[in-house]
Amino acid sequence: MAANTLQDSITEELSKFINSKSATFACGGSVPIVSFPVQISASSTSLSLRWDSPNDTRSVSKLSFPISPAAIEQDVGLLELVRDCQPASFGFKGNDVVDYSYRKAIKMDRSAFSIDFCPYEHGIIDTVAQLLLPNAGGTVATQGVKAELYKLNIYSAPSGFFKPHVDTPRSDKQFGSLVIALPCHHEGGQLIVRHADQSVTFDWGSSASHGRTSSTVQWAAFYSDCEHEVKEVSEGYRITLTYNLYYSQGVGDLSGSSPAMDVTSLLLYHKVKAALEVPNFMAEGGSLGIFCQHAYAHSTPEGIEAFPGVLKGVDMAVYSVFLAIGLHISVRPVLEFSLRDEYDDYYDMDDEDPATDDCAEKNFIGRQLKSLVVSDAGGYEESRKEVLESYGGEWLNVNWLTNAKHKNIGYVHMAYGNEASTSFKYTHAALIVSIPPTADRRNDASVG
């Protein structure tokens, strides 16, 4: 093949692959167990599984990992675990079925055991969120991953296996599955994951993983629509934990609605309440403004769609606190504007324009976040007032709590003057709160 033809065909194949979902349908890795729990003593180089004995719920059994090839036949805990598991079923036409010609394995339900391994602690869930989630078909409101432990499974020699299947989704929020292999000696039992005409094999057997089985936890995650199978185990015990992976409100999407956070735990909540109780604080009511302290893409359509969920740090705290107190708060663009701007001082003497009167106190605030506005306003003989009106917003006297920090270009318009040219304005994203007058604050149960 001529060099260029070869290059073209490789380019085409790589390009096709990157453009398909196949580029990320499965991922995996390994975590050395010597590092957890955070190593305080030399004895912390194992992990423990504890489970309820089925015959006596007061009695708890324990098994420590890793389990070496030598220990496999003598480990009493392992034999007990095998004894206490039940045959593993699989979903077939809406029923749970046990059929050893399709799946030969045993399982334990999550309600019966606990283990001191947490995939979140080792960055596995962060990795899944970064790699699999973006193509999993969620929305901007589902930027996080919740991994829910499902079952413990054992595939043992001579012939544990699970034929090709697709996992039954537990809810419409499920986008994938995570399998974690505990460090126990085995051979065979490869997990093969397929998507379109591609496949990935995860071989966690001792020889294939160069002995790592004895010292590492190995894992794989894949999308729900991927067919997968577990090949026959020829030696030892392949012990796995399975997790269902769900979309969740992730970091960046908890503003005002974090199910886990009590907003009153934020000191800011009490400070704001105390301020509102002072009659002379904004006695007439008005607008309180907080310029966002972090940078956001607040003038692109995708960036705007992500608000308010994308707020972070103190911006999220501010948003959540005012929302919880029951005041109206929204993210709005503030046009960067000063008296010294362009030729405004000289050419724009329109008396009605508040900018020429008291713009030192007032800010021009867009009604809502807007993607970049390109306008033909501002040509010859048009006042700045018309330029601003074409953007859409109002002049507000704002009591600012923070200074502007980050800006995006928000508005492109014609420049003033008699030659055609363009000019632009930056916008800052700010949280604008409507503060009622003192009398209304007292009457408002949610504020008092």
> Footprint of Fe ion on this chain (CB under 5 A)?
167
From first CA to last CA, the distance across the chain in angstroms is 80
Rank residues 65 and 162 by Cβ distance to ligand AKG and give the closer one: 162
8 Å CB contact between 355 and 423: no
DSSP sequence for 137-153: T--TT--EEEEEEEEEE
Specify the residue, 167 or 348, whose C-beta has the smaller distance to Fe ion: 167
| 269-304 as b/e: b if 16+ CB within 10 A | beebeeebeeeeebeeebbbbbbbbeebebbeeebb
Sheet holding 113-115, edge to edge: 56-65, 47-53, 113-115
Please say whether the beta carbons of 345 and 370 come within 8 A.
no
| Residue 153 site contact among ligand AKG, Fe ion, none (CB < 5 to 8 Å, cut-off depends on kind) | ligand AKG
Smallest distance, ligand AKG to C-beta of residue 8, A: 39
Report d(CA 289, CA 331) in Å as an integer.
10
128: tokens are: 């899944």
Q: Least separation, in Å, of the C-beta of 238 and ligand AKG?
A: 7
Of 193 and 311, which CB lies nearer to ligand AKG in the complex structure?
Answer: 193
* Shorter beta-carbon distance to Fe ion: residue 167 or 187: 167
Q: Which does 184 bind (CB under 5 to 8 A by kind): ligand AKG, Fe ion, none?
A: none
Tokens describing residue 385? 């007032």
Q: Which is nearer to ligand AKG, 66 or 366 (CB)?
A: 66
**Partner from ligand AKG, Fe ion, none binding residue 242, C-beta < 5-8 Å depending on class:** ligand AKG
Tokens 């960067």 belong to residue: 336
* Minimum separation from the CB atom of position 23 to Fe ion (A): 22
Q: How far is the CB of 228 from Fe ion (least distance, A)?
A: 6
Q: How many residues are recorded in the chain?
A: 448
Residue 201 CA neighbour count, 13 Å, CB half: 8
**CB 90 → ligand AKG: shortest distance, Å?**
7
Q: Which residue is nearest to Fe ion (CB)?
A: 167
Partner from Fe ion, ligand AKG, none contacting 179, C-beta within 5 to 8 A by type: ligand AKG
Report the partner that residue 240 touches, choosing among ligand AKG, Fe ion, none (CB closer than 5 to 8 A by kind): ligand AKG
Interacting residues with ligand AKG (CB under 6 A): 153, 162, 167, 179, 191, 228, 230, 240, 242
* From the list Fe ion, ligand AKG, none, partner contacted by residue 336 (C-beta under 5 to 8 A by kind): none
65: CB partners within 8 A, 6+ apart: 33, 46, 47, 48, 49, 182, 183, 184
